[in-house]
Structure 1
Amino acid sequence: MSGSKVVGIALVAVMLGVWAVRSFVIGGEDAATEATVTTTGATSDQSDQASSAGDSPAPQPVVAAGDLAGIPVGYPSTDDGAATAAVNWVASFPTIVRMGPIRLDDTLNTLLSESRAASGSDEVIADYFTLIDELGPDFASRIWIESPLQFDVTETAGATASVAVWSMLVTGDAEDGDVEAIWRTHRISLVWERNDWRIDDITINEGPTPAPNALSLPSPSSEFVTVDEWQPAVFAGTISRIDD
């Protein structure tokens, strides 16, 4: 892989962290109407039956109620809901990086907290075109797979939560060159606003990075293209629907 492509990969890893806490502030209202955001929980009939039987309601699984542009949304206002929102956000990195600037703007205006959605515009636009300069206009067609591996709820306080997510980003040219793995840790702050967990702040740091297995040979990019079309494993059981 050329030096410019390596620089570009590092750049996109940083930029998506920056994009996560800024938005273009152009027409967020349309995006808000696209997402159906409802929290999960027992129905009234289920609650009545549990009460009449003298039993406590059974714990409900943490499931996103829907999606916005392919990103799961609509979590319960619990610590588990915040953790699931953070993990699914990280797994949604490939969806985000493949958006155009206008769709990215609309999406982030809904997913971010009000304070974060109200900041930044010129810098994000400049970042987007810098990314095109580094990776070329076809950067969205690259292989992009982000796999959350471990998470830790580091802090909760009522309507706020902080979650650390360790993940592996796999990226490379779909037809030529090596596909590389980048290990990184996302530290995500969330706030409960507008009936859902919203992203309020993100920092992304490299590592911890394991040493590669000397006996394992790199796979051809065609094998990664195949798995790039699969759904993130962490979405299994945590979303009620994802529209194609």
Structure 2
Amino acid sequence: MANVEPNTSAAGRAGGHGNEPHTFNIAGRLNWLRAGVLGANDGIVSVAATVVGVAGVTNKSAPILVAGIAAVVGGAVSMALGEYVSVSSQRDSQRALIETERRELAEDPEAELAELTGLYLKKGLSAATAERVAVELTAHDALAAHLSTELNISEDDQASPWQAAYASAAAFAVGAVLPLLAILLPPAALRIPVTFLAVLLALALTGTLSAGIGGSSKTISATRLVIGGGLALAATYGIGSALGASGII
């Protein structure tokens, strides 16, 4: 019989697998990923669409630069504000739920223990096991047990609105640099094709990276972003060209 070495790693002693993030803040990771990817993609697409649309009207650098800078500033502020409001609302809701659960535990601990036992019964545990688990977890940390089992939240796992706002604004600004450089640096005759190519490649890269971090399909994620970005660029350039040709602008 082959000798089997015991798993003496921390993950093994805890009953986990070394490649699984049992102790990692998954909610925080996904929140940062969401804010960062959305910010970068919006920075790339919205600024690129703006400058390409202006370039469809004129090939002068000054109007394109002004429009691009305005899009960067306005977009970064908008992204930061949106993330701050969204995460603040989420955090406030979580805090209200936590306070409600804390009050219920203080006012009627027996009913809360029965409720926790019932939740474990619904998960498939036997009555005796469900009661034992509920009693032991309540003795250890009643609030944490109810928050995790009943509400699927943690008192210590709350996203920061300011961090989300900063991450979103910074990611937007970083993403916006690419289309600005792509539209301003090449000769006038090459601005549009260079910008299209640079933006689509950047979207493919961000889609691949975000899928790799999140564990989803890289091909699907990249394809979605490339198609969406390509449609946005084509639409704004077409509108700009039509307005320029019409003599309205």
Q: Do they superpose with TM above 0.5?
A: no
* Greater percentage in helix: 2
* Greater percentage in strand: 1
Structure showing greater Rg: 2
For CA contacts below 8 A with separation 6 or more, give which structure has more relative contact order: 2
**TM-score under structure 2 normalisation?**
0.22
